[in-house]
Amino acid sequence: MKFEKRCRNSFRWWVACFSGLVCLSASFVAVTAQAAVTGRCSGCHTMHYSQDGRVLTEWGQSGPYEALLTIDCLGCHMGTNVGGTTPFVFSSEAPNYGATGTTSDTNTLAGGNFYWVAQPGGDTRGHNVAGLMAGDGALSMPPGFSGDRAAADGSIPGGGSWPSGQQVTCAGTYGCHGSHAQSSLASAVRGGHHNGLDGAITAPDALPAGGFRMLVGIAGYEDADWEYRPTTSTHNQYKGVAGGTDNSTISSLCARCHGQFHSASSAGSPWLRHPVDYDMGDTAATSDYRSYGGAGVNAYRLDAPVASVDVGNVLTNVTFAGDTVVACVSCHRAHGSPNHKMMRWDYAGTIGTGCAACHTSKD
């Protein structure tokens, strides 16, 4: 009896321990692997691009698709955001952006939305992505293309040269996501959807899955819902390092195609171009830049975000010590916005709006 009782107690203890471990592992998985696609394989793949002898209506109709997919990028990422588990970057109806795309009534994400660039006359409002809309009527190649900036895997957009008229793609040789060494979009982001990380990505490897938003070699803190209605405590934390030589910053990603704009490497006073990968903490303590986010408050501004060296956490306030790094995305939305030059705010239609987030003495 005594032994039996001991065994029962031991069994309960082990059950309790096991249950705890299960819960712990479940929560751990939820945190660290949230960006990875979950669910049944057939949700995305088809072995023969055929089901019961036909192509299903919910599949793309132009298959078969690479990687046995049922549809292309757009098939999954087109829609209206409601805070779900799939980020929609292209909407068929005008998204609600408001003034800055950051308020609680908006439904765009951190990169903005391609909707506006697809509208007539919308070339300046975003990247003209192949397959989503026609090429840019004015730009035959990325402005500022230098062709000498490589990703962590050594790949360079276009292999270093950009054919005139070539449109940018979601991924691959001429794309932003995945490896530029792969002409196949699916191959370029291989593993990214299955093994994608979430939260802090501080040491990205050279694989799509290891980078911030499948951007090879880019570090950052991924907001769990891609900045759907962000708050000062729930937002992407972009990587930025002063000097312009760190290739894990979000601006270094942009520089792969717009290298001539990435002028931090030729830093000096005065600037020849607006600096990126420049820490406002390197300005005089009395400078107007030190009033970013309000003098003495220095709150992180969702409408004009600054990047940081440490992306292990999301910042609600900045200290001007490696956490006020100007980035391309401080002013621009990577996918598109309703504003001229895909600005976060209506720069062209106002006088200095947004600029004063940093140039505070002008306001």
Is there binding between residue 274 and another protein (CB under 8 A)?
yes
Among 124, 247, 249, 324, binds another protein (CB under 8 A): 124
User: Nearest-CA neighbor of 113 among 122, 230, 121, 303?
Assistant: 122
Asked if residue 271 binds another protein (CB under 8 A), the reply is yes
Q: Which helix (H) or strand (E) holds 253?
A: helix 250-258
Residue that the structure tokens 């049922």 belong to: 70
Query: Which of 63, 75, 144, 243 contacts another protein by CB under 8 A?
Result: 144
116, 289, 320, 345: which one contacts another protein (CB under 8 A)?
Answer: 345
143 binds another protein (CB under 8 A): yes
Instruction: For the CB of residue 266, give the shortest distance to another protein in the complex, in Å.
Output: 9
Answer yes or no whether residue 252 interacts with another protein by CB under 8 A.
no
Identified binder of another protein from the candidate list 14, 27, 273, 295, rule CB under 8 A: 273
Phi, psi angle pair for 192, to nearest 5°: -65, -40
Choice between 1 and 272, CB closer to another protein: 272
Among 57, 61, 164, 269, interactor with another protein by CB under 8 A: 269
DSSP state of 212: G
Q: Distances in Å between the alpha carbon of 112 and those of 109, 236, 324, 332, 336? A: 5, 13, 22, 9, 5
Stretch that binds another protein, among 34-42, 164-172, 211-219, 253-261 (CB under 8 A): 253-261
**Is 266 in a helix, a strand, or coil?**
helix
Q: DSSP code of 6?
A: H
- Per-residue buried b or exposed e for 158-192, using 16+ beta carbons within 10 Å of the residue's own CB: beeebeeebbbbbbbbbbbbbbbbbeebbbbbbeb
Interface with another protein (CB under 8 A) = 98-100, 102-103, 124, 138-139, 141, 143-144, 232, 258, 260-261, 263, 269-274, 293-294, 297, 299, 301-303, 331, 340, 345, 347-357, 361-363
